[in-house]
Every structure is written in C-alpha cells, then in structure tokens.
Amino acid sequence: KEKFFQLGGYDDLYRPMYMEDVDLSYRALKRGWKIRYEPRSAIVHTGGGTIGRLFKKGYVDLMRQKNRYLFVWKNIRESQFLLSHLAWLPLRIGKSLLKGDLVPLKAFCLALTRFPEVLLRRGEESRRSRINDRAIFQRFGRPGPRGRGPGQFLEKSGKIG
C-alpha cells in the first residue's frame, strides 16, 4: 500500500479505463523496484465483463488505443524506442484508414488533446527513474511492432501480477 501511494496511485490520465495498471507497474520498474508475483495464484477474469455492460465496444477500443499512445508518450524515454513509435504511427493509422477503420486515428487525436498533461507527468516521473527502458525491455522481451512492447508484455506475460 505504501509503494502504491509513493507512485501516486493510478494515473487518472488513463480514465475511464485501460493501461492504468500497466502504467503503475512500469513506473515501479523504472524506479528500480521489484515486482513480485505468485506463480501458483489463479485469477479468473471475464474480459470486458463490467466494461462491456457500461460501454459500447467501439468506445472501449477507442480508449484502449488512446491510452496505449499515452502510455508510450508518458513513459518511454529512450530516443530509439520513441523514434520507432513515431515511424510506425503513420503506417498503422494509414493501414487502418485503408480498411475503413477510423479508431486508430480518433484515438491518436484524442491522445493529442492530453499531450500537455503527458509532458507534465513525464517530467515528474523522469526525475524519479533509476532504470532505463532498454534494461526493462531486455528483462522482459523485445519491444516493437514485431515484438512485445511494454504494454503488451505487462498485460499478457504473467511475469507480474
């Protein structure tokens, strides 16, 4: 509980849903803290059980994608990873537009509206970081479009819980 408060709790930047837990874990890792898990534990989670009743699927997808952008902009500091992210953005959005899918573009635009807040939080957290992104990625897997980025890894790996 004490560590949760030292991290400032869940960041409301990600409201109403998605990535706040990943962000919390990543900030802890960046500070050099250990994240422990119990491999024998079992969690039964019905994905979208509550959210699916409260929000339409399109809105949920929009928030998930918007918050992934916010996560990268807020937390990833190494230029190699940021440049890769920026290089893939137009390709990802363009490919989706060709398929008639506007969600990635809308998510990007929504995320841009939060960019001043992202920069503020990025600066605050930067002063507390002790571990760089590369060290975290080396520990948990290769980031990038063909590998697992920090968000996908932290959500799916089972390495933290």
The pLDDT tens digits of the residues spanning 33-88 come to 988 878 888 877 666 667 777 778 889 999 999 999 999 999 999 999 999 999 99
Task: Give the whole-angstrom CA distance, residue 128 versus residue 15.
Answer: 23
Using alpha carbons, select from 13, 143, 27, 3 the residue that is nearest to residue 67.
13
pLDDT above 90 (res 150): no
Tell me whether residue 19 is exposed, middle or buried, using C-beta atoms within 10 angstroms of its C-beta: 0 to 12, 13 to 18, 19 or more. buried
Quote the pLDDT of residue 145.
45
How much is the pTM? 0.81
Q: CB within 8 A of 117, min separation 6: which ones?
A: 13
Task: Give the whole-angstrom CA distance, residue 66 versus residue 119.
Answer: 16
The pLDDT tens digits of the residues spanning 90-143 come to 999 999 999 999 999 999 999 999 999 999 999 988 899 999 999 998 887 655
Quote the pLDDT of residue 143.
55
Q: Which tokens hold the place of 10?
A: 């869940």
Quote the pLDDT of residue 159.
39
Q: Where are the alpha helices (DSSP H) in the chain?
A: 2-6, 20-30, 49-54, 57-75, 79-98, 103-113, 115-126, 133-140, 150-156
Quote the pLDDT of residue 26.
94
